[in-house]
């Protein structure tokens, strides 16, 4: 089967969960003998011809916070229906909903993957949120079929729009590379630091974590890994409030990322928007002691494999949970073990890919 993955920044993954999903699905699909094409934005990905077994197509877009995604997806869809003609197109991001029907009308079956309510993201001004809400409303019917990564998000779509989405959870695989270069570069001791990994945008709440951390009684440093395009002011604010004990190395990928997750003392994911965050399931697979917010998809993913805090009472609630966890090494070990077991049972890129392929088979026969 010829499969096109379209609508993200592209791969190698360097920004968010969508790109992580695309990279892993591309690898799983090609390992199973399928031919995969991934559409990429030249200003946001390395200029490679192939990656993870997939052929990469780099097409131009408008480098603008509000137009980047939709313009690139429109250009890519034109290329897809006139040049590629794949057996299936898998689109990502609800904001691409206005373009997705073009593929279906042109005779290319399509799946649209939605990871949450993008209109809730604080980065969007009021007018943009209103437009994105309209895109979300139409997204369930835009493709041949729409899917999400969380039953909690499926619940929300059904409540708001009267249509239930099929839920296909993300996968997780993050073995310890056995190296310590990233730890050495940051002056870290294995098992004795708090870790945040994610895009540095307001809804991921790195600011809440930094504020909570500032009240803790601990010698452990806080490591905030991440960056974000178009978020310079927010990131500058984080650096201003961080202080000397907070280390902000920007993005860390590959073995360095795996090192940091596998060796952290506590990993914190305080996000309040989106569906299943790959960083959570990857941390679970690595057996990291986790603290997550009580955002419904987060709670759904971790089950009993993480400590949770109340977003409504943050940052005080987060500080309290972290302080208790730092003082209890047995509980940290128990949480890590339960998280790893849950990841083995429920999450895996192979499982995720097989579910997409079963859906693809149903749509193309």
Strands (E) across the chain are located at: 2-6, 35-40, 50-51, 54-58, 88-92, 110-114, 145-148, 166-167, 194-197, 222-225, 246-250, 266-269, 290-293, 307-309
Strands (E) across 227-297 are located at: 246-250, 266-269, 290-293
Structural contact between residues 145 and 363, judged by C-beta atoms closer than 8 angstroms: yes
Q: What is the pTM of this model?
A: 0.79
Residue found under tokens 């649209």: 112
* Pair of tokens at residue 281: 């399931």
Contacts of 78 (CB under 8 A, 6+ apart): none
Determine how β-strand 290-293 pairs with β-strand 266-269.
parallel
Per residue of the chain (365 residues), what is the pLDDT tens digit? Answer: 999 999 999 999 875 678 989 999 999 999 999 999 999 999 888 889 999 999 999 999 999 887 999 999 999 999 999 999 999 999 998 889 999 999 999 999 999 998 766 656 666 667 667 777 777 777 878 889 999 988 988 898 888 888 888 999 888 888 999 999 999 999 999 999 999 999 999 999 999 999 999 999 999 999 999 998 888 999 999 999 998 999 999 999 889 999 999 999 999 999 998 778 889 999 999 999 999 999 998 999 999 999 999 999 999 999 999 999 999 999 999 999 999 999 988 898 999 999 999 999 999 98
Phi and psi dihedrals of 110, rounded to 5?
-140, 145
Q: Give start-end residues of each CATH 3.40.50.2000 domain in the chain.
A: 2-171+349-364, 181-346
Contacts of 342 (CB under 8 A, 6+ apart): 284, 302, 303, 304, 305
* Pair of tokens at residue 51: 């990656």
**Residue among 348, 284, 254 nearest 11 (CA):** 254
Q: Which CATH number is 181-346's, of 3.40.50.2000, 3.40.50.1450, 3.40.50.300, 3.40.50.1240?
A: 3.40.50.2000
CA atoms of 88 and 38, how far apart (whole Å): 12
253-263 CB burial, b ≥16 within 10 A, e <16:
eeebbbbbbbb
Contacts of 184 (CB under 8 A, 6+ apart): none
Question: For the domain 2-171+349-364, what is the CATH code?
Answer: 3.40.50.2000
Going from the C-alpha of 82 to that of each of 97, 198, 209, 322, the distances in angstroms are 20, 36, 48, 54
């Amino acid at each position: 089967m010829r499969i096109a993955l379209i609508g993200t920044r592209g791969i190698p993954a360097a920004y968010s969960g969508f790109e992580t999903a695309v990279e892993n699905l591309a690898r799983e699909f090609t390992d199973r003998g399928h031919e995969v094409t991934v559409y990429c934005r030249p200003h946001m990905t390395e200029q490679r011809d192939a990656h993870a077994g997939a052929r990469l197509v780099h097409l131009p877009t408008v480098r603008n916070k509000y137009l980047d995604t939709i313009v690139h997806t429109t250009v890519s869809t034109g290329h897809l229906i006139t040049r590629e003609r794949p057996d299936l197109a898998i689109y990502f991001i609800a904001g691409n909903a206005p373009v997705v029907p073009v593929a279906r009308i042109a005779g290319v079956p399509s799946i649209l993957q939605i990871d949450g309510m993008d209109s809730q993201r604080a980065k969007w001004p009021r007018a943009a949120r209103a437009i994105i809400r309209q895109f979300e409303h139409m997204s369930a019917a835009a493709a041949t079929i729409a899917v999400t990564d969380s039953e909690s998000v499926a619940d929300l779509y059904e409540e708001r729009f009267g249509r239930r989405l099929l839920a296909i959870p993300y996968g997780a695989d993050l073995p310890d590379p056995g190296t310590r270069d990233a730890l050495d570069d940051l002056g870290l001791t294995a098992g004795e630091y708090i870790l945040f990994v994610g895009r540095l945008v307001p809804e991921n709440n790195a600011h809440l974590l930094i504020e909570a951390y500032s009240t803790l009684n601990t010698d452990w440093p806080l490591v905030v890994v991440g960056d974000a395009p178009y978020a310079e002011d927010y990131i500058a604010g984080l650096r201003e409030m961080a202080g000397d004990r907070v280390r902000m190395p920007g993005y860390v990928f590959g073995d360095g990322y795996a090192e940091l997750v596998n060796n952290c003392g506590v990993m914190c994911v305080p996000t309040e928007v989106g569906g299943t965050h790959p960083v959570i399931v990857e941390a679970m697979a690595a057996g990291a002691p986790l603290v997550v917010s009580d955002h419904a998809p987060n709670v759904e993913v971790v089950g009993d494999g993480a400590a949770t805090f109340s977003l409504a009472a943050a940052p005080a609630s987060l500080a309290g949970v972290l302080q208790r966890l730092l003082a209890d090494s047995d509980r940290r070990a128990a949480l890590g073990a339960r998280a790893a077991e849950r990841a083995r049972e429920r999450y895996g890129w192979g499982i995720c890919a097989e579910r997409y392929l079963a859906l693809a088979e149903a749509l193309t026969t």
